[in-house]
Amino acid sequence: MANLNKLPSPIGVKGPVLTIVMDGVGIAKDCAGNAVKRAYTPTLDAIMEKYPMVSLKAHGTAVGLPSDDDMGNSEVGHNALGSGQVFAQGAKLVSNSIESGKLFTSDAWKAEIANVLDNNGTLHFLGLFSDGNVHSHIDHLKALIAHAKEDGVKRVRVHILLDGRDVGETSALDYVLPFEEYIASLRDDSFDIMIASGGGRMVITMDRYEANWSMVEKGWQTHVLGEGRQFASAEEAINTYRAETKAIDQDLPPFVIAKDGEPVGTINDGDSVIFFNFRGDRSIEISKTFEAGADFDKFDRKRVPSVAYAGMLEYDGDLHIPSRYLVSPPEITNTMGEYLANAGVAQYAISETQKYGHVTYFWNGNKSGKFSEELETYVEIPSDVVPFEQRPWMKCAEITDALIEAMKSGKYPAMRVNFPNGDMVGHTGNIEATICSMEALDLQLARILAVVDELQGVALITADHGNADEMYETDKKGDPKVGKDGSYKAKTSHTLNPVPFIIYDNFYADKYTVKADEGNFGLSNVAATAVNFLGYEAPDMWDESIIK
């Protein structure tokens, strides 16, 4: 890797260059569902009005996803922020591999199929069951099932994690019922296939960053052991739980499909298991659980079947989790963190548990380690294990306390922070809580920017995608849809809206100009801008800086 070159006429920033990621805070129409606009945020309002601001694309092809109908997410957003480039991402990689047939000629796929055929076992598919295209896509699952039948697999069981987060909050049956018809069309005397278990994605299996291992334990009990409340079908489970709990899909309890009192799809010795999510953060823990040896200590697995396990992708390239995967992940190279480390620039990254991996692992191009132990400091503030709508301020004050201390230390020219509030609370669909989360964040922005001024630094304030900006389902004009009863329908997914990029600078504005916002900037333009403020030219492979 080449080193960064100094700018001929550097801006000369004395204090830190701080990138602030307001996770899930997009730019949208001022309406009833826009929690960002409805919140009392005097600091954010003032800096948007007073300081240079451009909009950044944070979804679709601008972050490496297949089409501009695909909403952005925190993973690809932080990849783009940290690398200064756009790489083909999980969904696109998998789709391309399926369409080309490369997936089905991979050693991993062959091993999964051979294990089942050699042991007269069952092939299990486990993952997020929707077309949200953030963690998974149901079309990928269908393609894998169809090819498994072609390859001679006799028995398949599907374990479904209900979404209601990247898609409509109560849309589960829109996927389950057509899928039941689809697998019925495949089923015959030599091909036995059915849904075996499931539950809401925020209740079982899909924990991340080891924030709540009990979710994974519930998933293990449900999918592997077949323990839990039994139903005749997924449709019956969903309808029953909705009537009893009034919960949205992501929060529905686990269920086991049974016949004559016996689970139809426990996971046993000689079986193969494919976790079909392509996104890494919520795939690592369940993968560890399947692949760990006797020293596994997160919970009592009770029974550990000898299976061939594979992920759709390699979810952690440094730790090689899982050991077998169907599609190779993008090789993200020449990241900002690596360039700055090579240039001897000290860096500081901080968030709470829910987004800690985003300002470290994803920011660094899906690399879990540091580029330099000496030059990089990573700080994780432990997240509370409570529903986010019950504590919408999350850990933003504690993050700010630690950040300010680090800023005042003078050790770190390059700093970055993620505040998860707008995204994590936005996903609950609770607009009042999300408004509160934005107000809590605004208080911390005021504290931080005062220290930026004290140290004569610069703050680059942006987001990774939208969420809190659109808390109700909207029509084509961006207005909230009104139901027959006159109410709005909560939206729990990310949005397709752009995000702000604000240059907070009270000392150096005469040293540069901000390029015109013509709608062509994306998250990948941030890295070049940041290194320019640090006094360096951006590498040629990065997307252009927003300043000149």
Catalytic residue among 74, 272, 283, 524: 74
On whether the CB atoms of residues 355 and 420 are closer than 8 A, the answer is yes
Confidence of residue 158 (pLDDT cuts 50, 70, 90): very high
Same domain, 42 and 99: no
Q: What angle do CA 294, 298, 299 make, to 5 degrees?
A: 85
Least confident segment among 29-38, 207-216, 266-275, 443-452? 207-216
Predicted pLDDT at 351: 98
Domain endpoint, select from 292, 310, 327: 327
Residue 1: inside a domain: no
Residue 448 in contact with residue 404, Cβ under 8 Å? yes
Residues 322 and 380 in one domain: no
Whether 546 is in a domain gets the answer no
pLDDT in tens, 224-243: 999 999 999 999 999 999 99
pLDDT for 206 beyond 70:
yes
Same domain, 270 and 338: no
> Domain range holding 369?
17-88+331-533
Q: What was the pLDDT predicted at 92?
A: 86
Q: Identify the domain boundary among 327, 353, 379.
A: 327
* Residue-level pLDDT at 318: 58
Q: Distance between CA atoms of 218 and 196, rounded to whole angstroms?
A: 15
At residue 1, does pLDDT exceed 80? no
Do 309 and 426 lie in one domain? The reply is: no
Domain end marker among 260, 294, 327: 327
The answer on 361 and 506 residing in a single domain is yes
381 and 480 fall within a common domain: yes
Q: Looking at the domain assignment, is residue 435 inside a domain?
A: yes
Whole-model pTM? 0.77
Q: 110: which 2 tokens?
A: 């062959």
Task: Give SS3 for 327.
Answer: strand
Asked, for residue 5, whether it belongs to a domain, the answer is no
Q: With bands split at pLDDT 50, 70 and 90, how would you rate the model's confidence at 476?
A: confident
320 compared with 325, residue with greater pLDDT: 325
Indicate the burial class of 3 (C-beta count within 10 angstroms; 0-12, 13-18, 19 or more).
Answer: exposed
**Is residue 449 a part of any domain in this protein?**
yes
Confidence of residue 67 (pLDDT cuts 50, 70, 90): confident
- The answer as to whether 403 is a domain residue is yes
Same domain, 412 and 298: no
Q: Is 136 a catalytic residue?
A: no
357 and 489 inside one domain: yes
Q: What is the 3-state secondary structure (H, E, C) of 256-322?
A: EEEECCEECCCCCCCCEEEECCCCCCCCHHHHHHHHCCCCCCCCCCCCCCCCEEEEEECCECCCCEC
156 and 298, same domain (yes or no): yes
Residue-wise pLDDT tens digits, 7-49: 999 999 999 999 999 999 999 999 999 999 999 999 999 999 9
Of 86, 8, 139, 82, the C-alpha closest to 520 is 86
Residues 497, 470 contacting (CB under 8 angstroms): yes
Write the CATH number for 473.
Answer: 3.40.720.10
CB 376 within 8 A of CB 337: yes
Mean pLDDT across 275-292: 94
Read off the pLDDT of residues 428-440 as tens digits, 9 standing for 90 and up. 999 999 999 999 9
Q: Are residues 309 and 346 in the same domain?
A: no
> Would 545 be classed as within a structural domain?
no
Count: domains in the chain:
2
Looking at the structure, tell me whether residues 221 and 159 fall in a common domain: yes
Give a yes or no: residue 42 inside a domain: yes
Helical H runs in 120-208? 138-150, 172-186
The CATH number of the domain where 158 resides is what?
Answer: 3.40.1450.10
Strands annotated E in 67-132: 123-128
The residue among 381, 349, 384 whose CA lies nearest residue 368 is 349
What is the C-alpha R_g of the chain?
Answer: 24
68 and 100 co-located in one domain: no
Stretch 460-481: mean pLDDT: 94
